Amino acid sequence: MYIDKAFLKQLFIYFFIGGFAALVNWIIFYISNSLCNIHYLIATIIAFFVATWVNWKLGRISLFKNSAVRSKVTGEKTLVYIVSAIGLLLNLLLMWLMVDILNIQPIIAIVITTGLVFFWNFFARRILIYKD
């Protein structure tokens, strides 16, 4: 099985962009849920929208800058949010399972779910949105 260098480079850069967006996600979630007492599922949604925008912006600037879809910003954003909305549904399902069923603390659950959904976001963007 051959994995090309360009793919590994993209994955490596996306890991750092996704890591920064994940930090934004966790901070917004913590502020919303712990400090503002917003229900954890609503806090997940709020954090998702902010982190998705950060991820899109950084990815567009540094990672997927040569994409043909890049010239159509509105269409690009729409596709990113559709892919990310599926990620949000996965996030919400996993959060509910971890918090309500497994009794995991919400802040720990958001960290776990972010890691799991990371791979969906990368491959969906690479294959469905930013294919060259």
Helices 5-30 and 40-62 meet at what angle, rounded to 10? 140
- pTM higher than 0.85, yes or no? no
DSSP state at residue 47 = H
Contacts of 64 (CB under 8 A, 6+ apart): 70, 125, 129, 130
Question: What's the distance, Cα to Cα, between the start and end of the chain in Å?
Answer: 21
Among residues 114, 104, 129, the alpha carbon closest in space to that of 15 is found at 114
Predicted confidence pLDDT, tens digits, the chain (132 residues): 566 777 777 778 878 888 899 999 999 999 999 999 999 999 999 998 899 889 878 877 776 555 554 455 567 778 877 888 898 999 999 999 999 999 999 999 999 998 888 888 778 877 877 765
Q: 60 CB contacts (<8 Å, ≥6 apart)?
A: 70, 76
